[in-house]
Structure 1
Amino acid sequence: MSHLGEDINHLLCLDGSTGGPAMRWQRKTRELNSCNTSLNMSVNRSLNRSHNASTLGSPMRALNQSLGGSSKTPGKKTPGKKSKTPTRTPGGDRFIPNRNATDFEVGNYKLVSDVNHEDEQLMSPSKLEYRRVMNENLNGKAMDSKILRFKQAVPSAPEGFQNNLKVLYSQTKTPSSAHKTTRHIPQIPERILDAPEIMDDYYLNLIDWSCSNYLAVALANNVYLWNATSGDIQQLLQLENPDDYISCVSWIPEGNFLAVGTSSGTVQLWDVDQSKRLRTMTGHAARVGSLSWNSYILSSGSRTGNIHHHDVRAAEHHVATLSGHTQEVCGLRWSPDGKVLASGANDNLLNIWPAAIATSNSPQYSFTQHQAAVKALAWCPWQPSLLASGGGTADRHIRFWNVNNGTCINSVDTKSQVCSLLWSKEYKELVSGHGYAQNQIVIWKYPMMQRVTELLGHTARILHMCMSPDGSTIISAAADETLRLWKCFATDPHQKKKITKPKMGSLTRVQSIR
């Protein structure tokens, strides 16, 4: 029972130690005692060593020596003398060596190329060759090479070794095939022709360029031919009735026959080689404002809205009538493959007539998106199903159509009346001639429809445009009674030798059509 009493007394002693960490004052006391004990032991060891080593000094002197003290008694400072402050080095506390005489290139060479002879003996021949080549290129050759060279050629690599990263840049001429040069488009016309009394009528088509390089121009009741090769001008015809006028002209694709539409509703066929009228075809009740050839079929659109097909080989030339428009037909174009006819009129309609149903009065597609008369029509030369159309003053849009499915691919607002459209034969570009209010020619990059350039010079609206046989020159006819030739499309250099360039004569001389 005695041990039970001890435990009870231990629990009742609240002020005693509970077995936890010691208090702070207790830890400080133990640390101080431990430090004194260590100091006493060190002093005792020093006294013993000094007593055993020498008997000349006193115990106090030995104690001072063991504690690092001075043997001299400190004295008073001498009056009038000041203690000297140690001088500082010019560079401060750090020692900065002079590196002017250090050869870093030699040091780098030794650092890279210094190889222990014992290591070389242990290396394989391929490893030694690799070391030699790396040493030569990193130190022997690279010191004499430059990253940028402007006057000298690139140094040749050692035999059997090719280092493509030795010279990063050099002044070498880029191959011509890598240059993407921007072609130059003159901003002034190559030639200006005077066209007096050309009619200022949006719905007519008064110029056309043949494959034999003859330009037909209708002035009032006359038709003139301008030879673009020689510059000669001749009068082809003049209407007998002075009140009549020429409303449209169109060359056959072969280039030796010219179709002429008149204000009286007749269509005349002329042989230009013999300057002879072959026949006169009637049938329209009003003026004929548009013509288009498809082999031996000549299509004509009149002011009544009807389209007539004429077989020029037969005595009974009238073979079909299309009645899909209610107002004057001002735009008429057969596709390059001769399978589809596009017609635009003053009723704001664009109709698509396949050749298979050319005798029907119902077109395959009738587009109503244009808000003004549709005169400007152009078929894409590399994509027969793509048609471009332009609207008049109230519309001002160029629209692109897929005639296979009857959908509108794209539409661009030109901010100006669209009078004519032409596709380039050399580039994927489209040319548009405009009237109110800017009177300019715009070249578009297709299909992005970005403006390549604008050609200015006409002082009135551009009514008609056509392209030269080689596709390099555009001629524009405007209400300011001038014809202007623009060198818009450069000929492919590989085809320059094959195509005979028309001689346009002087660039500054203004020539009159009549």
Structure 2
Amino acid sequence: MSSSVFYCYCHGGTDGIDSEYDGVADTCAAIKRTPSRANISSTYSSRKRRRVSVASLDLGRDLATPLTPETPIEETNADRFVTVRMSTSLPLNMTPRTNRIAKAFGLVDDRVLSPTDSPSPSSIPSLRSLLRRSASGLFSTSRTASLLSAKANLGTRKHFVMALDGPGISTDLFASPMAWSHANCIGVAFKYDVYFQNLESRAIVHLCRSSLSDGMVHSIDWGGETKPHRLALGTKAGVVRVMDSEKRMQTVEWVNDGHGMGGMHWNGDVLAVGRAGGNVTLFDVRMRAEITKIVGHKRRVHGVKWSTDGRHLATGDDGGIVHVWDHRACDLLTNDDKHVRMKHKGPVKALSWSPWQHDLLATGGGSPDGEIHIWNTRKTAPSSEPMHTISLQTAITSLHWSPHCKELLSTHGSSWTVPQSNVHSASQVSALSTENSLVVHSYPSCEQIVNVKGHSAPVGHSCISPDGCSIFTVSPVEETIKMFRVWSAPDGKGKNEGGDMTLKSTIR
């Protein structure tokens, strides 16, 4: 098209045409003109000439002009998935020929690409919302609770599977009067006596009785997986004994060192014992005396817990101080130039190390703290803060990580938040809902996924089963011990355990 326009404009005019038709030979011989395509201009109709002249726009000059910043950019409300032609688009529908080409390629089909700059306000937004809803429905998948999670176990059956009467159990909420062995025996201390029940045979055995001079039994703990029949007990006067539940006899006794009793926990043959004076004493069953003493606390040590790999020992005292002791280095990791890194605003008894991440520690504070702190002990610094904080405004008496999924269970005592009116704040509602309850939190979101009211009075202590699926809780005021199925094992072990233990019995 452009070549025909070029030859049309280069023609000499009417004078050249007349001289050619007059037949002047010498002029033709001297010039020897090249025949022009304009010679066949008679074949072009007037309509064709008009079309060529219209199409001879100087597109190069128009398109070469840059857009200045003052040039407004048109914005439309059309859907982003359908292109809209701007005002600077090429005039593709200027001639019948370009119309035919555009229609052949579907560029001017009203059904495909002929959007308008002023869409109807009712149809386009509704269509857009429908498209977005349908797209979101494709990407959103309905999440179902894992069969291992507490939501699929305790959340569906919010009731205990076993109940035991516990008259005479210690009313001290900082005592640890109950433990669950790897031989599936539940041991409980009642004042001066220690009993245990085999949950498979249902046999109840009276293990031992402490003297009046030794005081009532304050804490007990079973040996680990390698020594499931070994039980340690400590009295309020500070006497520590180790008993063999199979032979029903005492194997070793460590004399009173003049300090009262706190918490205790086994690590192989080594037993860590918290004292009322603030020290933590380490005993070895193969020796008749203590092997070392950890100095760092100034008040009674309520919580004592070894990590799952046995490399670190966490301790919490009545003043809210938490220390972590490195067994290999025989030194504290949390005390740098008398600056304690891990603190609560209330007494700390609840401690739990993660079984699937050895440096993850959960600590819980009593009144007036009511918070769960989750620490990474590898990243503690003099000014470090906990990785996560869960505020519950209720005394936290024990903590347990699930070995099968990333969930944390906490047991609670009474709440100190007393509502003054019928209109409760958010913190008051949260405190009242967790009072005397078992609460399961997901990790790392720390969301509350299950909340079960376990007792009508504060939960003083709890222990986890050897398969990591069930929890025994004790309420000293209610004088009741209850077993709850919280999680499930991946391989289904112990799935039917406790299924027929819905009867109510007494442990002594």
Q: TM-score, normalised by structure 1?
A: 0.62
Q: 1:260 corresponds to which residue?
A: 233
What are the Cα deviations for residues 103-137 of structure 1, in whole angstroms up to 9, with x where unaligned? xxxxxxxxxxxxxxxxxxxxxxxxxxxxxxxxxxx
* 1:472 corresponds to 2:469: yes
8 Å contact from structure 2 (residues 436, 455) kept in 1? yes
The letter for the 1-side match of 2:484 is W
The letter for the 1-side match of 2:507 is I
What are the Cα deviations for residues 393-416 of structure 1, in whole angstroms up to 9, with x where unaligned? 110000011111214211110121
Q: 1:340 corresponds to which residue?
A: 312
What are the Cα deviations for residues 233-278 of structure 1, in whole angstroms up to 9, with x where unaligned? 1111111227710010011112121111111211100011100001
8 Å contact from structure 2 (residues 323, 334) kept in 1? no
What are the Cα deviations for residues 191-239 of structure 1, in whole angstroms up to 9, with x where unaligned? 1110111111122111111111011111111111011112221111111
Per-residue deviation at 1:328? Answer: 0.6
Picking from 301, 324, 327, the partner of 2:299 is 327
Q: Identify the range of structure 1 (279-288 vs 326-335) with the bigger mean alpha-carbon deviation.
A: 279-288
Picking from 183, 188, 192, the partner of 2:159 is 188
Q: How does 1:42-441 map to 2 (within 5 A)?
A: 183-185=152-154, 186-241=157-212, 244-253=215-224, 254=226, 255-315=228-288, 317-358=289-330, 363=335, 366-406=340-380, 407=384, 408-437=386-415, 438-441=435-438
Q: 1:450 corresponds to which residue?
A: 447
8 Å contact from structure 2 (residues 324, 333) kept in 1? no
Q: Could you tell me how far apart the structure 1 residues matched to 2:284 and 2:144 are?
A: 53
8 Å contact from structure 1 (residues 431, 444) kept in 2? yes
Q: Could you tell me how far apart the structure 2 residues matched to 1:263 and 1:395 are?
A: 26
Which structure 1 residue ranges, 5 or more long, are not aligned? 1-175
Seq. identity, %: 29
The letter for the 1-side match of 2:183 is S
Q: 1:138 corresponds to which residue?
A: none
The DSSP-based 3-state class of the residue aligned with 1:430 is strand
8 Å contact from structure 2 (residues 153, 485) kept in 1? no
The letter for the 2-side match of 1:183 is A
- Matched residue count: 336
Rg (Cα) greater in structure: 1
* 1:481 corresponds to 2:479: yes
* 1:512 corresponds to 2:506: yes
Per-residue deviation at 1:296? Answer: 1.4
Q: 2:44 corresponds to which residue?
A: none
The letter for the 1-side match of 2:389 is S
The DSSP-based 3-state class of the residue aligned with 1:436 is strand
**Closer, same or farther in 2 for the Cα pair 1:403/1:229, shift >3 Å?**
same
8 Å contact from structure 1 (residues 349, 370) kept in 2? yes
Per-residue deviation at 1:367? Answer: 3.1
8 Å contact from structure 1 (residues 230, 504) kept in 2? no
Which structure 2 residue ranges, 5 or more long, are not aligned? 1-141, 416-434
Q: 2:127 corresponds to which residue?
A: none
8 Å contact from structure 1 (residues 345, 374) kept in 2? yes
Q: Could you tell me how far apart the structure 2 residues matched to 1:371 and 1:179 are?
A: 35
The DSSP-based 3-state class of the residue aligned with 1:229 is coil
Q: Could you tell me how far apart the structure 2 residues matched to 1:500 and 1:236 are?
A: 30
The letter for the 2-side match of 1:513 is I
Q: Could you tell me how far apart the structure 1 residues matched to 2:348 and 2:143 are?
A: 43
8 Å contact from structure 2 (residues 214, 235) kept in 1? no
Q: 2:104 corresponds to which residue?
A: none
Per-residue deviation at 1:366? Answer: 3.1
8 Å contact from structure 1 (residues 229, 504) kept in 2? no
Q: Identify the range of structure 1 (225-234 vs 299-308) with the bigger mean alpha-carbon deviation.
A: 225-234
Per-residue deviation at 1:360? Answer: 7.0
The DSSP-based 3-state class of the residue aligned with 2:456 is coil
Q: Could you tell me how far apart the structure 1 residues matched to 2:276 and 2:145 are?
A: 52
The letter for the 1-side match of 2:374 is F
Q: Could you tell me how far apart the structure 2 residues matched to 1:314 and 1:233 are?
A: 31
Per-residue deviation at 1:356? Answer: 2.5
**Closer, same or farther in 2 for the Cα pair 1:225/1:361, shift >3 Å?**
same
Q: Identify the range of structure 1 (275-284 vs 354-363) with the bigger mean alpha-carbon deviation.
A: 354-363
8 Å contact from structure 2 (residues 162, 498) kept in 1? no
The letter for the 2-side match of 1:469 is P
**Closer, same or farther in 2 for the Cα pair 1:371/1:455, shift >3 Å?**
same
The DSSP-based 3-state class of the residue aligned with 2:387 is strand
More contact order relative to length (CA 8 Å, sep ≥ 6): 2
Aligned-residue RMSD, C-alpha: 2.5
Per-residue deviation at 1:358? Answer: 2.5
Per-residue deviation at 1:362? Answer: 8.2
**Closer, same or farther in 2 for the Cα pair 1:356/1:456, shift >3 Å?**
same
8 Å contact from structure 1 (residues 378, 387) kept in 2? yes
Q: Could you tell me how far apart the structure 2 residues matched to 1:277 and 1:264 are?
A: 18
Per-residue deviation at 1:501? Answer: 5.0
**Closer, same or farther in 2 for the Cα pair 1:274/1:411, shift >3 Å?**
same
Per-residue deviation at 1:504? Answer: 5.9
What are the Cα deviations for residues 329-351 of structure 1, in whole angstroms up to 9, with x where unaligned? 00001111111111000021001
8 Å contact from structure 1 (residues 192, 483) kept in 2? yes
Q: Could you tell me how far apart the structure 1 residues matched to 2:325 and 2:343 are?
A: 18
**Closer, same or farther in 2 for the Cα pair 1:240/1:463, shift >3 Å?**
same
The DSSP-based 3-state class of the residue aligned with 1:404 is helix
The DSSP-based 3-state class of the residue aligned with 1:470 is coil
Per-residue deviation at 1:287? Answer: 2.3
**Closer, same or farther in 2 for the Cα pair 1:362/1:416, shift >3 Å?**
closer
8 Å contact from structure 1 (residues 476, 483) kept in 2? yes
**Closer, same or farther in 2 for the Cα pair 1:232/1:242, shift >3 Å?**
farther
What are the Cα deviations for residues 423-466 of structure 1, in whole angstroms up to 9, with x where unaligned? 11222110000001211110111111111111113111111111
Q: Could you tell me how far apart the structure 2 residues matched to 1:361 and 1:350 are?
A: 11
Q: How does 1:20-35 map to 2 (within 5 A)?
A: none
The DSSP-based 3-state class of the residue aligned with 1:236 is strand
